[in-house]
Chains A and B, each alone.
Chain A
């Protein structure tokens, strides 16, 4: 099956700092999503981004599908950004029909100190 690797596994920041999280995947994908798991365990959708660049406030994401990676940028981090960030992909075939299931990376644990 498709492999998803996230880096770094852990990241500690001071409030106000910027950070970049990376997601590498081993095959072509038709879907890529970034999630934030908050301290209560809820998975919050951040981006649906199988290709291109999107921005939402202090967060932005870029996926370069041809090179099989995606980046999540967090600017001016806040303590509420703490939690686990997951990248998840859905493998696609050459015809563009996907298979439904998401394969998750191990996550990046982000801790933002005040």
Chain B
């Protein structure tokens, strides 16, 4: 079974440009999460999809970030326009459907390393 995959693995862009990150969750996982680790700080939650619906986007830093999950499969995270402070590692995770009282392991992808110059 394939794990969570992310593309690209690295991205170097200039301030003001646009970057789109992609995440393919484990097949059959309805829950999809985005996290990021800014240099020197802890890994922080960005948002959570259940299928194509945004369940929780409380961690999105500002309106320069747009996440989509059309069709409930893969997800994209677009940063437009990118700023220097957006540099870091962006992780995607997925888990199986959440049943009442049943918690699932979140499986993480390898991350996308974004550098904004």
Contact = CB atoms under 8 A, between A and B. Distances in A.
A101 B108 contact: no
A96 interface: yes
Contacts of A41: 89, 110-111, 113
Nearest to B106: A102
B107 A45 contact: yes
A31 B91 contact: no
Contacts of A48: 105
Contacts of A104: 35, 42-44
A33 B108 CA distance: 12
B103 interface: yes
Interface in A21-44: 30-31, 33, 35, 40-43
Interface of B: 31, 33, 35, 42-45, 48, 55-56, 58-59, 89, 91, 93, 98, 100-101, 103-108, 110-111, 113
Interface of A: 30-31, 33, 35, 40-43, 45, 48, 50, 86, 88, 90, 96-107
